[in-house]
Amino acid sequence: MNFWQSFDQPIIALAPMEDVTDTVLRELLLNVADPGALHVVMTEFVSTDGLVHKKARKRVIHRLLVTDEERALLKAKNVKIVAQIWGNTPEHYQQVIKEIASEMEFDGVDINMGCPVPKVVRRGSCSGMIGNPTLAKEIILACKEASDLPVSVKTRIGLKAVATEEWIGHVLETKPAALTIHGRTQKQMSDGLADWTEIAKAARLRDQLGLELPVIGNGDVQSLREARAKCAEFGLDGAMIGRGIFNNPWLFMEEQRERTKEEKLEMLWKHTELFGRVWGDTKNFHILRRYYSIYSKGFPGAAELRANLMRSERVEDVERILRSA
C-alpha cells in the first residue's frame, strides 16, 4: 500500500540528514512530538554501493538501525519510517531494496537526488542525477520493480541553474509514490532562501499531467505553523522540516513556548544517555557537541556550561558537568 496517499491533512515529515537523523535523534523527537504533528521520518541517507560491498557495508549499515524503543514510538504515534538511499547503479538499488523489503521493517524507500555535496555530485549521484535524467529515470523504475514498498524521491529545483519544470517533468514520468522538492539548486547548497514558488510549479505540473502523488516542499521551515501555512499558500501536500530542529528540538509540539533551563538540561541528558546506550564507542561522541549548543542557551550560566560541554569526551563527562550546573 502507498501510505503517502493515506493522509487527510498536510504531511509533516522529518528530512534525512547526515549524522543527524539516526535512531537516537528520531526517538527523542518522537518522544516529544504531539500525536498527528509528525507523519513521516527518514533515516540518514545510505550509500547503495556501500551496502552491497562486504567491507564498506560495516561502515554504513548502522544508518538503517531502528531500535525497539523507536519502533514502539512509531507505532504508538502512527508515524511512518522511510529508508533513504543514494547511488548511481540501478542494480545496486534493486539489491538493496530487496533486502530492505524482506528483512527490515520500513514503510517505504526514498531516493536521494538532492544532496548537494560536490564530491558526491561529481560522481553523478544525488543532485548529480539532475544532469542525467535518463539514468535517474532508470533508477526510479528499477527501484519500483524491486519490491512492493512505495518509492519516493527527494530532489532539488536544478543543478547549476533553476530547471524545475524540465527536471521534475522527467521525474514525474516515472510516477514515484511521492516527490519532495528542496527549493534550491545544487549550486546554492544551503545559501540564500529556498524558492517555494518553484516548488509550487512542480505541483502544478503534477496536476497538468493528471497524476495523483503528493508533492512536498522543503527548505527553511522553522515551525509546524509555517509548514502548514506554506502548504496552503503554495498548494502543496506537505512540508519537510530539516535544519529547523537545530533551533528547536521541540518543534513537533503544537504548543510552542520558551523551554526552562530544567527542560533543556533534561533533554540534553536524555540525548546523551541514549546516544551512549545505543552507540557506545562505535560512533564519534563529538557528534553530540552540535546539540549541546542548542540545549545550553537562554539561561544564566549557559555560556560557561556550553564551554564545558564542548570539551566532554564521554557520557560520564557530561554527567559530571550537569551535576554542577
Distance between CA 231 and CA 199 in Å, rounded?
10
Q: What cell does 12 get?
A: 509533516
**Catalytic residue positions, numbered:** 115
Using N-to-C axis directions, what is the helix angle for 261-279 and 23-32, rounded to 10°? 140
